[in-house]
Amino acid sequence: MTDLSDEQKRDFEAAAFRRLLEHLRERSDVQNIDLMNLAGFCRNCLSNWYRDAAETEGVVISKDQSREIVYGMPYAEWQARHQTEASDSQKVAFEINRPKDH
C-alpha cells in the first residue's frame, strides 16, 4: 500500500466526502428513510457529524447551517422539493433498524 502523508489522507478524505455530498444531491429520489433502513445513516446524520467535527475544533455551526452544507440548500427547501411521505413498510423497517441515536 502506498504510504500517504497526513495531509494527503485529509485531502483525499475531504474529496471523497465532497463527492458523496454531490452524489446524494444528485440522487434526491433516494429518501433519508431509505438510507437509514439500508445503511444506518442519512443526510441528517452527515450534517450532525459535520457539526460535531466543527465543534471539536471549537467552531460553532448551527444545525441549520450544517444541514445546508450537506443538502446544498436550506433543509426546508430540500424537504419541499424532494421529501415524500414514508410508506408504512419504510416506517416499520425504520423502527426495527433505528440506530440508538435517532
Q: What is the pLDDT of residues 40-75, one digit of tens each?
A: 999 999 999 999 999 999 999 999 999 999 999 999
Residue 74 lies in a domain: yes
Residue 55 lies in a domain: yes
Residue 42 lies in a domain: yes
Residue 1 lies in a domain: no
pTM: 0.87
Q: Give the domain extent around 38.
A: 6-97
Above 70 in pLDDT, residue 17? yes
Residue 91 lies in a domain: yes
Q: What is the CATH number of the domain that holds 57?
A: 1.10.3340.10
Alpha helices in 4-100 (DSSP H): 6-26, 32-39, 43-56, 63-71, 75-82, 88-97
Residue 19 lies in a domain: yes
Residue 73 lies in a domain: yes
User: How sure is the predictor about 102, in pLDDT bands with cuts at 50, 70 and 90?
Assistant: low
28: Cβ contacts below 8 Å, ≥ 6 apart? 78, 81, 82
User: How sure is the predictor about 97, in pLDDT bands with cuts at 50, 70 and 90?
Assistant: confident
User: How sure is the predictor about 11, in pLDDT bands with cuts at 50, 70 and 90?
Assistant: very high
